[in-house]
């Protein structure tokens, strides 16, 4: 079975082809980062228009890379939500047009299920059950994943997402959007402990987190600084920020492992590309004789491969009746807001 995956929930247009027998055959991505950079963040209307320009070309691109034709596709998987409504509509319009023309089913995929399943494109791939630390631009959650499709939310950020904190800190330091990679690189040159920042809720007896206080603490440090162009100070501030984020996530993961007795951990979402976070979480999990899994580096942020993988897994889990109902479905909707636990 060959599944085409399409992602268009935010500022990346992605397409990919995955086969149930041979795994990921091809994937292609167009990121709009350069287009949005001048605005310091994603401009929804510009995002939608650019998805329109790129989507079909990316689909043709993965077909060519994989040596397949449109007639070889057996199903289309597309991000149905959560995300920007206009951006989601573009990917869904393309996916459903292809489905209608080829008379094949179209599966609406949850973007966060895609992020989590991206880890299953790594070798070795994690088995179920596992604890998931989902750290992205819009979400920071700890979930218990008993089996495919069953997501129990154990805790989450009460305000900003970790990725959002990276992006806002980058903005305060005059670094380019998106902030993750830039702040992380700057932090490598800094000294731990030189600037200590707030770690809100780190000791709270639950798995919830907060990152907006950390952002305020960065802002206060910026205001108090004598010279914000001083490279040593900048690196130390970036280091202080990264250490604070990593400490909070590590403390919550350790608490979650203790609470659930689960020793298998999956970390996913854009921030899971972060080197400092990977090093620390890997260390904490191994010291507790657990196993930790991440998506391949390039599949941490948004991409079509994770959507194709989630779509294939969804299709395989369906009963014959559900598949028949999917085949008969007409029209489509998008879900800009869509809690993962409701799957
Ligand atoms: P969501 O998936 O919650 O809807 P999103 O799709 O915008 O949000 P992702 O694409 O998963 O988020 O991740 C983007 C985020 O990851 C950005 O906030 C970015 O700064 C962050 N990020 C990317 N690379 C790194 C890195 N190396 N270190 C830290 N953060 C990173
Ligand atoms: Mg993005
Ligand atoms: Fe994402």
> Whose Cα sits closest to atom 25 in ligand 1?
180
* Gap from CA of 12 to ligand 2 centroid (Å): 6
H-assigned helices in 104-145: 111-118
Residue 115, annotated ligand binder? yes
In Å, the largest CA–CA distance within the chain is: 67
pLDDT of residue 177: 87
Residue 90, annotated ligand binder? no
The response to whether residue 113 sits with its C-beta less than 6 Å from ligand 1 reads no
pLDDT of residue 330: 87
pLDDT of residue 291: 98
* Gap from CA of 183 to ligand 1 centroid (Å): 12
pLDDT of residue 266: 98
Q: How far apart are CA 160 and CA 164, in angstroms?
A: 6
N- to C-terminal Cα separation, the chain: 24
Q: What are phi and psi of 16, to 5 degrees?
A: -160, 155
Q: Enumerate long-range contacts of 323-328, CB under 8 Å, 24 or more apart.
A: 323/105, 326/105, 326/106, 326/107, 327/105
Among 187, 182, 176, residue whose Cα is nearest residue 238: 187
Residue 274, annotated ligand binder? yes
* Tokens of residue 13, six digits: 């247009």
For domain 2-117+300-342, the CATH superfamily is ATPase, nucleotide binding domain (3.30.420.40)
| Domain extent listing, the chain | 2-117+300-342, 127-294
CATH of 127-294, one of 3.30.420.40, 3.40.50.720, 3.40.50.1360, 1.10.357.140: 3.30.420.40
**ipTM value for the complex:** 0.99
* Same CATH fold assignment for domains 2-117+300-342 and 127-294: yes
Which residues keep their CB under 5 angstroms from ion ligand 3?
136, 302
DSSP state of 129: S
Contact 7, 301 (CB under 8 A): no
Question: pTM for this structure?
Answer: 0.97
Q: How many CA atoms lie within 13 A of 105 on its CB side?
A: 21
Closest ligand 1 atom, residue 301 Cα: 10
The response to whether residue 166 sits with its C-beta less than 6 Å from ligand 1 reads yes
The residues of the chain scoring below 50 in pLDDT are none
């Amino acid at each position: 079975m060959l599944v085409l995956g399409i992602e268009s929930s935010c500022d990346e247009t992605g397409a990919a082809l995955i086969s149930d027998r041979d795994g990921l055959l091809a994937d292609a991505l167009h990121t709009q980062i350069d287009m949005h950079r001048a605005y310091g963040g994603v401009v929804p209307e510009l995002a939608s228009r650019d998805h329109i320009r790129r989507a079909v070309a990316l689909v043709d691109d993965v077909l060519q890379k994989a040596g397949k034709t449109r007639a070889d596709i057996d199903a289309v998987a597309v991000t149905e939500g959560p995300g920007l409504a206009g951006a989601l509509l573009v990917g869904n319009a393309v996916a459903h047009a292809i489905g209608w023309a080829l008379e094949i089913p179209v599966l609406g995929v949850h973007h966060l299920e895609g992020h989590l399943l991206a880890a299953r494109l790594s070798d070795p791939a994690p088995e179920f059950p596992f604890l998931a630390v989902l750290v992205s631009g819009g979400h920071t959650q700890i979930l218990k994943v008993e089996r495919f499709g069953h997501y129990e939310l154990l805790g989450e950020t009460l305000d900003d997402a970790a990725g959002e904190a990276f992006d806002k800190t980058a903005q305060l330091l005059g670094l380019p959007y998106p902030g993750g990679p830039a702040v992380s690189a700057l932090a490598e040159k800094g000294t731990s402990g030189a600037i200590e920042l707030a770690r809100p809720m780190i000791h709270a007896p639950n798995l919830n987190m907060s990152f907006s206080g950390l952002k305020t603490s960065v802002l206060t440090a910026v205001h108090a600084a004598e010279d914000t162009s001083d490279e040593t100070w900048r690196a130390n501030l970036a280091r202080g920020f990264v250490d604070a984020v990593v400490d909070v996530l590590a403390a919550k993961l350790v608490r979650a492992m203790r609470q659930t007795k689960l020793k298998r951990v999956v970390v996913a979402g854009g921030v899971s590309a972060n080197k400092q976070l990977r090093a620390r979480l890997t260390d904490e999990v191994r010291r507790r004789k657990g196993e930790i899994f991440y998506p391949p580096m390039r599949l941490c942020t948004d991409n079509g491969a994770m959507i194709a993988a989630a779509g294939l897994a969804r299709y395989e889990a369906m009963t014959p009746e559900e598949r028949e109902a999917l085949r008969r479905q007409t029209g489509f909707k998008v879900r800009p807001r869509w809690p993962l636990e409701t799957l």
